[in-house]
Amino acid sequence: MSDLKVVGQNKRRYDGLGHVTGTATYVDDVFIPGTLVVKALRSPVHKGIIKNLDVSKAENLPGVHGVITYKDVPCNTYGYLTLDQLVLVEDQIRYKGEPIAAVAADTVEIASEAIALMKLDIEKQTPVFDPVEAVKPEAPKVRPEGNVLMVGERPYRLIYNGDIEKGFDQADEIIENDFFFPSQEHAPMETQVSLAVPTDDSRLTIYTVAQGLYFLLKQMQRILGQGEDVSSRWSQRHQYTHHGMGFSDIKYISCNVGGAFGGKTELHADAIAALMALKTGKPCKWRWTREEEQLFSARHSPWLMHFKDGVTKDGRIVARQVFSRHDAGAYTGLSSYVVDKHAYYVAGPYHLPNVQVKCQVVYTNKVPTGAIRGFGVTPGTYACEIQMNMIAEKMGIDPWELRFINAMRNGDQLATRTKMDSVYLIETMQKLAEISNHPLDAKFAAMNSDPREA
Amino acid sequence: MALLEIKVNGREHRLEVDATANLLTVLREQLFITGPKVGCETGDCGACSVIIDGKLRRACLTNAMSVSGSEITTVEGVGEKGALHPLQTSFYENYASQCGFCTPGMIMASKALLDRNPDPSEMEIKEALSGNLCRCTGYVNIIKAVKAAAPKVSDQGGEK
């Protein structure tokens, strides 16, 4: 080990000196002369129809350089996987805080005053917040096509292996439990912020907080490029507004990020800052307030998980059926990806001869959910491992032993029927027992991950 | 508008400011001293912590004109010219920063502590940093860094 240059050695952070001297540049530390302050008019209701929006007073306020509504967005729909989210609301409001219009002004005070001068007439509608209520036929519709994301023909992602009913027949006990994983906000120290600067060669430079700059670039190119896929076409010089920007027309700069935890994966401030810069021809900065960050940025979705396990007297789980509900909020975002991820992992690292996982995306009138620290997997692992402890308690088996009995070994299959190799769960648990001084029965201390006898 | 006269990191400034502006805005947007960060603007997170006339203060809650005539130190001014302050070296060497956004405030709160108490206990360090949030939750290394810096700060015969 000692002759290795990196492994086993302490290495200083490459950005550590910037952190301790205050010279590390975060987006908000970039100052371009003449930068305007952006503020957004956000929906005050959870659900409603915009009957009328009058921004003329705001536009005429001295110090205001421009106001945008959905009419100023070349392509108003975007999204990671489903192009269903709106940059600015057209008529249907789907969650409280959804941006409706934006303003760029000389100062934050003028921008705030302009927002207050916008006249918004909304016909309120009844929202739905609880995913269990939202799937009922009489529930208010978050979306016209229904409150459940269809996965092909089915209203859930289905993954199974073996025969679940046969598995339950072999069991001595059926153990069922419900688990709830609440919503969570990332709360990074640095709020969402974007600085968009029009440059004299008709391009746009955007300083942003990003965890995946190219994920966002693709979406920004759609929004500013009228939905047209211009990524393959090399840049043509365009006028600023409404002529379609390509990949090479946007110079995207990711500054130091002041904490993200997944929360800077989604497009938050960039589109509106960029549209304001195109509208005014001036640099525009949109920094969300702490309140906006806490209330309106993408968050960890709440999950409801139901486990039904068939267990034999000797502690083998012969059948595991899981039904999960993921509360996506008002838009799809990464939900169709996260239900897949959840479905692959939720049954746990165990040998389950009969397993069935159903995982459903439900829409509610809440802030759209997004990436955070192992999203999809974290709630699944939480539910699965508590279920294991509850099985152990009910069957009178030591929780460690229950995990050894059911541990996945080489040659076992996941619910996806993927045949596993390089499995070291048993060895890992043996090491854990050793370092935590947990006594193991000789039978389990001698186990290994070799394929089980057919 | 009002005339503000302040000394920041050893340098005198005379500038016209909005009489209602807070010190954080003036430091960042008029003097371009960006070490103090905008985290919450409600005094909850400590990312804007600066030292005003020897006392730790929240720049976001401090009206700029109310400290006219004062001497202000931000993270940019803690070290001697061309050299890091022992706290800066110690934060760097002890991996006390992750995203780094809270670090300038943490260093100012730590400096305010060591200036009045050169040999703090772990409890005293925790108490002194209790107004500064680190959402990356790197508190263990931050406390380690302050402990490691303490003897080096007192070796320098206290701070200016």
Domain boundaries of chain B, sorted by first residue: 2-77, 86-155
Measure CB to CB from residue B135 to each of A15, A188, A256 and give the nearest one. A188
> Has residue A351 got a pLDDT over 90?
yes
- Report the alpha-carbon distance of residue A198 to residue A201 in Å, rounded: 8
The residue written with tokens 């985290």 in the block is B39
Q: Does A190 touch chain B (CB under 8 A)?
A: yes
Tell me, yes or no, whether A173 and A313 share the same domain: yes
Mention every residue, 6+ apart, whose C-beta is less than 8 A from residue B11.
none
Return the structure tokens found at A440: 């193991």
A86 or A240, higher pLDDT: A86
What is the number of CB-based contacts under 8 A between chain A and chain B?
100
Ranges assigned E (strand) in A209-259: 250-254
Tell me, yes or no, whether A314 and A387 share the same domain: yes
Residue A144 is given by DSSP the state T
A99: which strand partners? A42
In tens, the pLDDT along A212-268 reads: 898 899 899 889 886 665 444 434 444 333 446 777 789 999 999 999 999 999 999
Tell me, yes or no, whether A308 and A407 share the same domain: yes
Interchain contact, B34 vs A28, CB within 8 Å: yes
In tens, the pLDDT along B129-159 reads: 999 999 998 999 999 999 999 999 877 754 4
Interchain contact, B29 vs A23, CB within 8 Å: no
Interchain contact, B91 vs A20, CB within 8 Å: yes
The answer to whether A51 touches A121, Cβ cutoff 8 Å, is yes
Helix (H, G, I), strand (E, B) or coil at A85: strand
Number of domains in chain A: 2
**A258: distance to nearest CA of chain B, Å?**
5
**CA pseudo-torsion sign B60, B64, B67, B70:** positive
Q: Residue A28: its chain B contacts at CB < 8 A?
A: 28, 34, 37-38
A320: which strand partners? A309, A355
Which of B97, B134, B139, B144 is the best mutation test for A, with the most CBs of A within 10 A?
B97
pLDDT score of B82 = 83
Q: How confident is the model at residue A202 (pLDDT cuts 50, 70, 90)?
A: confident
Q: Does A106 touch chain B (CB under 8 A)?
A: no
Q: Does B138 touch chain A (CB under 8 A)?
A: no
Return the structure tokens found at A99: 């941006």
- Report the alpha-carbon distance of residue B109 to residue B18 in Å, rounded: 27
The answer to whether A22 touches B75, Cβ cutoff 8 Å, is yes
- b/e sequence B142-153, b meaning 16+ C-beta within 10 Å: bbbbbbbbbeeb
| DSSP secondary structure string for all residues of A13-57 | -TTHHHHHHT---BGGG---TTPEEEEEEE-SSSSEEEEEEE-HH
**B5: distance to nearest CA of chain A, Å?**
23
SS3 content of chain B, % helix, strand, coil (to 5): 40, 15, 45
**CA pseudo-torsion sign A285, B32, B89, B54:** negative
Identify the domain containing residue A448 by its residue range: 424-454
Measure CB to CB from residue B95 to each of A13, A31, A191 and give the nearest one. A13
The distance between the two most distant Cα atoms of chain B, rounded to a whole number of Å, is: 45
Interchain contact, B135 vs A31, CB within 8 Å: no
**B106: distance to nearest CA of chain A, Å?**
9
Interchain contact, A26 vs B101, CB within 8 Å: yes
Q: Residue B38: its chain A contacts at CB < 8 A?
A: 28, 191, 287
> Has residue A5 got a pLDDT over 90?
no
Domain B2-77 has CATH 3.10.310.10: no
Q: How confident is the model at residue A330 (pLDDT cuts 50, 70, 90)?
A: very high
**Overall average pLDDT of the A128-153 stretch:** 95
> Has residue B76 got a pLDDT over 90?
yes
pLDDT score of A48 = 98
Interchain contact, B35 vs A190, CB within 8 Å: no
Closest by Cα among A159, A194, A134 to A328: A134
Q: Residue A262: its chain B contacts at CB < 8 A?
A: none
A144: which strand partners? none
Tell me, yes or no, whether A449 and A356 share the same domain: no
Measure CB to CB from residue A21 to each of B29, B32, B88 and give the nearest one. B88
**CA pseudo-torsion sign A187, A339, A140, A43:** positive
pLDDT score of B157 = 55
**B98: distance to nearest CA of chain A, Å?**
8
> Has residue B31 got a pLDDT over 60?
yes
What proportion of chain B, given as a percentage, has pLDDT over 90?
A: 92
Q: Does residue A190 lie within any of the structural domains? A: no
**Overall average pLDDT of the A157-163 stretch:** 97
In tens, the pLDDT along B85-96 reads: 999 999 999 999
Q: Does A32 touch chain B (CB under 8 A)?
A: no
Look up the CATH number of the domain holding residue A362: 3.30.365.10
pLDDT score of A46 = 98
Return the structure tokens found at B21: 């502006």
How does the average pLDDT of chain A come out, rounded? 93
**Kind of pairing, strands A48-54 and A92-93?**
antiparallel
Tell me, yes or no, whether A337 and A446 share the same domain: no
Q: Interface pTM (ipTM) of the complex?
A: 0.95
CATH H-level, domain B86-155: superfamily: [2Fe-2S]-binding domain (1.10.150.120)
Among chain B residues, the shortest Cα distance to A261 is held by B136
Q: Does A61 touch chain B (CB under 8 A)?
A: no
CA angle at A348 for the pair A343 and A354, rounded to the nearest 5°: 80
Tell me, yes or no, whether A306 and A372 share the same domain: yes
Tell me, yes or no, whether A314 and A393 share the same domain: yes
- Report the alpha-carbon distance of residue B107 to residue B47 in Å, rounded: 10
- Report the alpha-carbon distance of residue A131 to residue A147 in Å, rounded: 9
Tell me, yes or no, whether A376 and A428 share the same domain: no
Q: How confident is the model at residue A2 (pLDDT cuts 50, 70, 90)?
A: low
Q: Residue A17: its chain B contacts at CB < 8 A?
A: 92
The answer to whether A98 touches A52, Cβ cutoff 8 Å, is no
Amino acid identity for residue A186 in this structure: H
- Report the alpha-carbon distance of residue A363 to residue A130 in Å, rounded: 9
> Has residue A408 got a pLDDT over 90?
yes
Cα atoms found within 13 Å of the Cα of residue A347, Cβ hemisphere only: 35
Q: Does A63 touch chain B (CB under 8 A)?
A: no
Mention every residue, 6+ apart, whose C-beta is less than 8 A from residue B133.
A189, B39, B44, B45, B46, B47, B102
Tell me, yes or no, whether A331 and A399 share the same domain: yes
Q: Residue A258: its chain B contacts at CB < 8 A?
A: 37, 99-101
Tell me, yes or no, whether A451 and A353 share the same domain: no
First vs last C-alpha separation in chain B: 33
In tens, the pLDDT along A12-48 reads: 899 999 999 999 999 999 999 999 999 999 999 999 9
Tell me, yes or no, whether A328 and A437 share the same domain: no
This prediction's pTM: 0.93
Exposed / middle / buried, residue B122 (Cβ in 10 Å: 0-12, 13-18, 19+): exposed
Interchain contact, A19 vs B97, CB within 8 Å: yes
Among chain B residues, the shortest Cα distance to A34 is held by B29
Closest by Cα among B97, B136, B130, B137 to B113: B130
Interchain contact, A190 vs B39, CB within 8 Å: yes
The answer to whether A38 touches A101, Cβ cutoff 8 Å, is no
Q: Does B46 touch chain A (CB under 8 A)?
A: no
pLDDT score of A7 = 87
> Has residue B12 got a pLDDT over 50?
yes
Mention every residue, 6+ apart, whose C-beta is less than 8 A from residue A263.
A185, A186, A188, A297, A298, A299, A370, A371, A372
Outline where A207-306 has alpha helix (H).
213-224, 270-280, 290-296
The answer to whether A125 touches A62, Cβ cutoff 8 Å, is no
Among chain B residues, the shortest Cα distance to A29 is held by B34
| DSSP secondary structure string for all residues of B98-119 | SS-SSHHHHHHHHHHHHHH-SS
Give the containing element (helix H, strand E) for B125.
helix B122-128
Return the structure tokens found at A95: 């969650």
- Report the alpha-carbon distance of residue A304 to residue A272 in Å, rounded: 34
pLDDT score of B8 = 98
Tell me, yes or no, whether A314 and A380 share the same domain: yes
Return the structure tokens found at A406: 């059911």
- Report the alpha-carbon distance of residue A234 to residue A393 in Å, rounded: 64
Q: Does A283 touch chain B (CB under 8 A)?
A: no
What proportion of chain A, given as a percentage, has pLDDT over 90?
A: 86
**CA pseudo-torsion sign A220, A221, A222, A227:** positive
> Has residue B29 got a pLDDT over 70?
yes
The residue written with tokens 């990003």 in the block is A210
- Report the alpha-carbon distance of residue A345 to residue A379 in Å, rounded: 10
